[in-house]
Structure 1
Amino acid sequence: ALIKSVEEISLNPYRIIDIGTGAGFPGIPLKIAFPQLKVTLMDSLNKRVKFLNEVIVKLELKEIQAIHSRAEDLGREKEYREKYDLSVSRAVANLSTLLEYCMPFVKPGGFFISYKSGKIEEELASAKHAIFLLSGKVSGVESFTLDGADAERTLVKIEKVNEISKKYPRKAGVPAKEPLK
């Protein structure tokens, strides 16, 4: 669901950024499953980044980096802004806030995929304006239940159709306190 096909990945070395990666999920499993990916793991806690760097060394992973930063700051830097084919995030914030964190990294034609638990309809409806402001369009919503789990999980796939305004992301802390509506 995240990526079209193994063959497509083999032909195109996708650049992926995992925002608020925590212990490296889903970025590290994606890198292991698809070694040709170029992966950036970003987290705001340096202790997690140090742990991720140890994991990267122990697993001898190549073309993967862990960065200590806030999404609002890194998303303004030329080296990272609109440079990724795919941005992923899991359980970091509500969808409107996540969009502002993640969409600045995605190049036009790329995708942001949010991994959410529970029903998504209401959250998706309230994020409609944020999706528009951040030059996105919903291109897929897939719900599923993992074996042995009670809660439903959902992948929300947002395609980036154009560059976004330089005013996004807003200053650190603002997207979480005042999500786009």
Structure 2
Amino acid sequence: MAITGLARRDEIWQSTLGWQPGDAQWAQFQALYQGILAGNEQINLTRLTEPDDFWEKHLWDSLSGLWPWLGKGDGSDQRPDWAQSVTIAQVIDIGTGAGFPGLPAAIAYPDWTITLLDATQKKIRFLEELALEMGLTQVRAIADRAESLGHRPHHRGKYDLALLRAVGPVSPCVEYGLPLVRVGGMAVLYRGQWTPEEEATVERVAAQLGGELTAVQSWQTPLTEGMRHCVYLRKVRPSPGKFPRQPGLPAKKPL
């Protein structure tokens, strides 16, 4: 039986994010969808396998966090001032799971080097093979924990951008992400609802990790009209050497 493909929806891409995929990028999005569906038969990757769900909650949602670098995004003709000062070449997707948002980012930004990080070996092996099949030669995948990788010299403070989507509460996310980001770089936290209490927590924890809250972008998802928020943290000074703490501690004992 033939598998239904994704609807392209260029108008929605353009009206929401100020960007739309080219033909080659759209073909890669379709290949990503087919690849995830095939992998899902062997590994538990995602429950979102219907075309509309996949388009909105994986593709669109992944790139919503990158709107400052995609195009107008906020309705103006230019990126926000705080985004223009960030030069991006090295990106890490922390807790990538089924490859989101890292693989859509690699398709949208072929000049970026994308590192997919996840503690599950099976998922990392699958993502390595999928990226290779899709010709995404700038993608690498690492099976490790963020708490450990954050202390490795080749990774600590080396990334221009850290992406954290569906990883956990905000405090551990900040502790996972900021030590891996260079001074001047940014971490993006993908969230659903967003409360004043979470914002206060992020500001407090980011200050301990060498960061500051730069912006919070709210979104209404274009098909199901759900609420999403993207939280942008700038790294303003090096993270203290004791962070991140030992594996498991950030989640068990949040800052």
TM tier, smaller: over 0.9
8 Å Cα contact 1:115-1:155 kept in structure 2: yes
Between Structure 1 and Structure 2, how many residues are aligned? 178
Unmatched runs of 5 consecutive residues or more in structure 2: 1-64, 72-82
Partner deviation per Cα, 1:68-108 (whole Å, 9 max, x = no partner): 00000011000000000000010111111100011111000
User: Among 143, 146, 152, which residue is 1:68 paired with?
Assistant: 143
Cα distance between partner residues in 2 of 1:120 and 1:47: 35
User: Among 91, 94, 114, which residue is 2:169 paired with?
Assistant: 94
User: Among 170, 184, 192, which residue is 1:109 paired with?
Assistant: 184
TM-score (norm 1): 0.92
1:126 aligns with 2:196: no
8 Å Cα contact 2:156-2:181 kept in structure 1: yes
Structure 1 residue ranges, 4+ long, deviating more than 6 angstroms after superposition: none
Partner deviation per Cα, 1:7-61 (whole Å, 9 max, x = no partner): 999xx56100000000111110011011000110000111110110111111011
**Structure with more of its chain in helix, by fraction:** 2
TM-score (norm 2): 0.66
8 Å Cα contact 2:215-2:233 kept in structure 1: yes
* Identity across the alignment (%): 38
Cα distance between partner residues in 2 of 1:6 and 1:146: 17
What is the CA-CA distance between 1:121 and the residue it aligns to? 2.7
Match of 2:12 in 1: none
8 Å Cα contact 1:143-1:152 kept in structure 2: yes
1:160 aligns with 2:235: yes
Cα distance between partner residues in 1 of 2:174 and 2:67: 19
Of 147-156 and 19-28, the range deviating more from structure 2: 147-156
SS at match of 2:105: helix
> Aligned Cα RMSD in Å?
1.8
1:2 aligns with 2:69: no
8 Å Cα contact 1:13-1:36 kept in structure 2: no
What is the CA-CA distance between 1:159 and the residue it aligns to? 0.2
Match of 1:21 in 2: 96
8 Å Cα contact 1:49-1:66 kept in structure 2: yes
Match of 2:114 in 1: 39
1:142 is aligned with what amino acid? Q
Cα distance between partner residues in 2 of 1:175 and 1:161: 21
SS at match of 2:137: coil
Cα distance between partner residues in 1 of 2:115 and 2:242: 23
Structure of higher CA gyration radius: 2
SS at match of 1:147: coil
Cα distance between partner residues in 2 of 1:6 and 1:147: 17
8 Å Cα contact 1:13-1:38 kept in structure 2: no
